[in-house]
Chains A and B, each alone.
Chain A
């Protein structure tokens, strides 16, 4: 018995060693969103937003604690900011990294070291490029919505989960940055009157933002980028049979086939197999009759030509954002791959898109 007591006492003493890493919720400031903008001399303008526990907020209203500073690195900014708050700043709950467009065009990698080094930062943190200044967006109040940081974070997560945009988290960004057969992307948002809206996708070459894909092209890009299992999109055209149509529960399969010509040049065929249920249709055809196949064909053609347009833009920008390089690489020997300048080859490669669309159902209206 005394031996056990002794052991228990010894263990209690040992436990006391852990008191240094004690964390009390009220004394901690969890950064929810961190925004970075370009500042002169390669510096960063960092703005962080930390939700405040209601009981400590002024007038018992929950507000975010907002802090802003200019520094050379994110962690230096954190150190400077921690002098201005009564709480311990921690990075464990960051949900969104926002970068101003100017900074994204200057290059992000130089500032990203800590995102990968600090084990408390999740690789699921969303990477967002803001049209304009990132700091301005999170310092703004949007009275019609929940608190700004939370509003942005929920908005993004919802769209990622719905698959209406490709998920652009820290993981995907770094993975594609390191992969020589693919370039990273990031989702873009902007302020629109009294709201924030997702405005498109920023395409990168290496860590530098090159161009922006507008929102109307994002669904086409999604089809090229990944296999969808639950996407949704709308189409509009001039054709009287296809004025406007919307789909939901879109399932798609993408297949990229690379052909090597006799003289060593490469060509790509992209096969898209898309199916979805109609939610709305405005046009002359009757979907319950065999005219349906005509509409399906129109949609297939529309997707093919439009996505080819998107690819052309990417080729002009030398940004392989949907990873065609991985497939070309599979056709090459190591030596050949290392000798080719992939971005150059990509910009000149002939690409064809073949889409076959299938209408799974046309809803509860029978015409």
Chain B
């Protein structure tokens, strides 16, 4: 039976929604803290960096003619080397998935349910994520269309802030009063993270190269949303205020008031559950994709369940938001090396295989 292929546009939205998430709420502070005045400009070089990285991933697809990354690896690397690599990747993806959910639960707890255990809140999201992932990637991609739309329809809210927006507040200074640029680069990369999971979508995408452009489209939407949010926040709060605000976007939303509803920020924050659901879901799905390469006989749904169970235990260790953020930092560095190193490794293997074929 011919399996139904993922729609290109759905892939774009999947990339967008995996990148987008809770980081949006802290992004203006991150840029203000690490890059200082007009730090929002750094989003653009970061976008270009990610674009180059996506081109690297596309190169793997083109050179391998759409072969799955596991096939490429399996063709020339012995299995006993691959197994530890897979285990590391599995742990990395599962942990990121777990921490994304954990971070959301902790913020939710701080805002709305201060005395409810954050583990209970996390469990709710975990159940949802599990149900989401076991539906399979094709259903996920379709559900994600709605999720993404729910996030994208918030963009027009930007108009409400124009009255309080002041260009003069942006200051003419470029990257002054920042702290650590390299640290900022890592954190900012963390915001864009998520596109690299496309590596595992190769067997599910259509068989031509056109869908690769749609990864760029997804990344472009992300960059637009990030830019809009950061730029608005700089003109609305000013850079110094941003450095002192844990969640500038929550404050921004808090300023909204409609005749029929006040304190809309909690509602809008709850909508981000869908983003977290997808981000967490994609990471668990990827971890499952890697793990099933080792245990081919176990049902992949069981693998998802076991991955989630394993990470819940580890995820309990960081007890506060700031600890979760510092864990994220290490995982981001690991993920950064994965998204650069893994495609390079694959390209190297493909070149070797090609040469080998010629000689044979």
Contact = CB atoms under 8 A, between A and B. Distances in A.
Nearest to A331: B172
Main secondary structure of the interface of A (DSSP, over half): helix
Contacts of A174: 241
Question: Looking at chain A, what size class is its interface with the partner chain?
Answer: 20 to 34
Contacts of A179: 169, 238, 240-241
Interface string A170-200: 0100110011110000000000000000000
Question: Looking at chain B, what size class is its interface with the partner chain?
Answer: 35 or more
Contacts of A178: 238, 240-241, 244
B320 interface: no
Contacts of A323: 168
A122 B254 contact: yes
Interface string B83-110: 0000000000000000000000000001
B166 A329 contact: no
Contacts of B168: 181, 323, 326-327, 329-330
B250 A326 contact: no
Interface stretch (B111-119, B201-209, B307-315): B111-119
A213 interface: no
Interface in A81-127: 92, 116, 119, 122-124
B240 A14 contact: no
A123 B241 contact: no
Nearest to B242: A178
Nearest to A21: B113
A119 B241 contact: no
Contacts, number: 70
Contacts of B173: 334, 337
Given A119-B111, A124-B255, A124-B257, A329 B241 contact: no
B116 A21 contact: yes
Nearest to B113: A21
A17 to B, nearest CB: 4
A289 interface: no
B271 interface: no
B151 to A, nearest CB: 22
B171 interface: yes
B255 A123 contact: yes
B304 to A, nearest CB: 16
Interface centre among A122, A327, A332 (most CB of B within 10 A): A122
A25 interface: no
B75 interface: no
Contacts of B251: 123, 171
Interface string B167-184: 011011100100000000
A17 B117 contact: yes
B120 interface: yes
Contacts of A364: none
29 contacts: A14-B120, A14-B123, A14-B124, A17-B117, A17-B120, A18-B113, A21-B112, A119-B250, A122-B263, A123-B251, A123-B255, A124-B254, A171-B164, A171-B255, A174-B241, A175-B237, A175-B241, A178-B238, A179-B169, A179-B238, A180-B240, A181-B168, A326-B166, A326-B168, A327-B168, A329-B168, A330-B171, A330-B172, A332-B172
